[in-house]
Amino acid sequence: MAELRVRTIDESELETVLAEDLEFDGTIEFAEPLLVKGKLSGEVHAEADLYIAASAELEADIEAARVSVKGTVRGDITASERIELFSGASIGGNIRTPDLIVQSGSHFSGTCKMDGLTPPERPEQETSPREDTNDEKDPDNNDHPKKTKSGTKTGKTGKTGDNRT
């Protein structure tokens, strides 16, 4: 089972927080991460991350880099990097993102499209060059593996495995 790895956000690290007692109606645009704890309706356009607290209620179409949802959203969400739905989150609308994390206990009603956006870059994995050897084994001893171009072949079973030793 895959492990869920989502970074936690410390509210004190964010410059902008829309508090629980705030109600905003209109279009909001921002370039730095934003945490919404209150009510917001309209449109959200962001170059940065949007964090939606458990107490938040949004009735808005959202465009942001990452959208992390713990509260309620009614509207479409487009994220250029990732959408995260935590337990207790509720989304009523369509979502579009190259990367989606859905935690058990969240609710999503809509369609999900995961194409057309550039997925986040993944670090390249170091790979060692494949040995291009064809070492012959002792014909009288079938217990030693034989290295081939396609992997390691055992003498007795004939099964092909990986080339790790």
Domain ranges for the chain, please list them: 11-113, 130-158
- The predicted pLDDT at position 7 comes to 61
The reported pLDDT for the residue numbered 16 is 87
Phi/psi at 58 (5° precision):
-115, 130
Q: Are 7 and 24 in contact (CB under 8 A)?
A: no
Question: Helix, strand, or coil here: 13?
Answer: helix
Phi, psi of 118, rounded to the nearest 5 degrees: -80, 120
pLDDT at residue 78, as a whole number: 97
Contacts by residues 84-89 (CB-CB < 8 Å, ≥ 24 positions apart) = 84/6, 86/6, 88/54, 89/52
**Do the strands 160-161 and 151-153 form a parallel or antiparallel pair, or are they unpaired?**
antiparallel
What's the pTM value of the predicted model, to 2 decimals? Answer: 0.67
pLDDT at 11: 74
Q: How far is it, in rounded angstroms, from Cα 4 to Cα 18? A: 27
Residue 12 DSSP SS3? helix
* Dihedrals phi, psi of 35, to nearest 5 degrees: -110, 125
Integer Cα distance of 50 and 53 in angstroms: 10
Sequential pLDDT tens for the chain (165 residues): 455 555 667 777 778 888 999 999 999 999 999 999 999 999 999 999 999 999 999 999 999 999 999 999 999 999 999 999 999 999 999 999 999 999 999 999 999 999 755 555 555 544 444 444 444 444 555 544 444 444 444 444 444 444 444
* b/e per residue 22-35 (b: at least 16 CB within 10 A): eebeeebebeebbb
Maximum Cα interatomic distance, the chain, rounded to a whole number of Å? 82
Report the distance separating Cα 128 and Cα 102, nearest Å. 34
Which strands sit side by side in the sheet containing 146-148, from one edge to the other? Answer: 146-148, 151-153, 160-161
